[in-house]
């Protein structure tokens, strides 16, 4: 006989899950597509090195976005659908918006596109994504806090973090850069000690060099 799988529902006396890292990741996504478009506008047509750096950071951002959407589609959204009927309609909308963004992502992923076309799609993504994240934060985050087990949420965040692979140093520094200093210290304190040491010794410096190269 198969034992039914328990749904990780938040108990009445349990704390709400801490969504700080989730929202910090959103903040980075909200900021950088528009910022990349501006950097591309400033890039001199003959400056192949600067264009390559902008394209490299765009590719990183698209990987980060794909990773985030995959975690939502494969873990968070199915759990919320199982936990509450309130989630159904908004989940359908968000999943449809993921598919809508996929068309822009496909264009942004093409190599050596004209700068004007690339900048236009970066701005299109900025607009689509900010509207999408508004819905998530206004309608989905309250459901996560109300229904999802804090232990499940923490385990899911750990799995997501590890699965960034070689992008982890850049993802970590980029995410921490997207929040105010007090929130940054809170996120660092909540993470593993090794991450705090690596961030302060090397990851932050490498990220700051990259920001200067890409955005000037």
Domains of the chain: 20-215 (1.20.120)
> Which pLDDT tens digit goes with each residue over 88-146?
889 899 888 988 899 999 999 999 899 999 999 999 999 999 999 999 999 999 999 99
Point out the residues of the chain with pLDDT beneath 50: 1-4
Q: How far apart are CA 175 and CA 104, in angstroms?
A: 23
Please state, as a whole number, how many other Cβ atoms lie within 10 Å of the Cβ of residue 64.
20
Confidence at residue 2, expressed as pLDDT on a 0 to 100 scale: 37
Distance of CA 48 to the CA centre of its chain: 28
pTM (whole model) above 0.85: yes
Q: How far apart are CA 19 and CA 114, in angstroms?
A: 38
Confidence at residue 213, expressed as pLDDT on a 0 to 100 scale: 94
Residue in the block written with tokens 């900025």 = 126
Spell out the residues 6+ positions from residue 115 whose beta carbon is closer than 8 angstroms to its own.
Answer: 40, 41, 43, 45, 51
CB 36 within 8 A of CB 208: no
Q: How far apart are CA 175 and CA 25, in angstroms?
A: 5
Q: Tokens in use for 8?
A: 């990780």
Confidence at residue 79, expressed as pLDDT on a 0 to 100 scale: 92
Residue in the block written with tokens 């909540």 = 190
Confidence at residue 11, expressed as pLDDT on a 0 to 100 scale: 77
Confidence at residue 5, expressed as pLDDT on a 0 to 100 scale: 58
């Amino acid at each position: 006989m198969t034992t039914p799988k328990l749904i990780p529902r938040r108990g009445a006396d349990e704390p709400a899950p801490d969504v700080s890292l989730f929202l910090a990741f959103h903040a980075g996504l909200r900021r950088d597509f528009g910022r990349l478009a501006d950097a591309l506008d400033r890039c001199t047509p003959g400056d192949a090195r600067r264009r390559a750096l902008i394209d490299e950071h765009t590719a990183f951002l698209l990987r980060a976005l794909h990773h985030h959407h995959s975690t939502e589609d494969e873990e968070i959204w199915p759990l919320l659908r199982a936990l509450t009927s309130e989630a159904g309609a908004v989940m359908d909308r968000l999943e449809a918006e993921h598919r809508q963004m996929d068309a822009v992502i496909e264009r942004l992923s093409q190599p050596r596109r004209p700068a004007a076309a690339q900048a236009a799609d970066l701005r299109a993504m900025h607009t689509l994504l900010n509207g999408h994240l508004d819905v998530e934060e206004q309608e989905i985050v309250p459901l996560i806090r109300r229904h999802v087990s804090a232990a499940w949420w923490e385990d899911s965040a750990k799995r997501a973090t590890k699965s960034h692979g070689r992008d982890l140093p850049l993802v970590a520094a980029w995410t921490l850069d997207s929040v105010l200093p007090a929130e940054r210290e809170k996120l660092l304190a909540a993470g593993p000690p090794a991450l705090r040491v690596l961030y302060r010794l090397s990851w932050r410096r490498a990220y700051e060099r990259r920001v200067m190269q890409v955005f000037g």
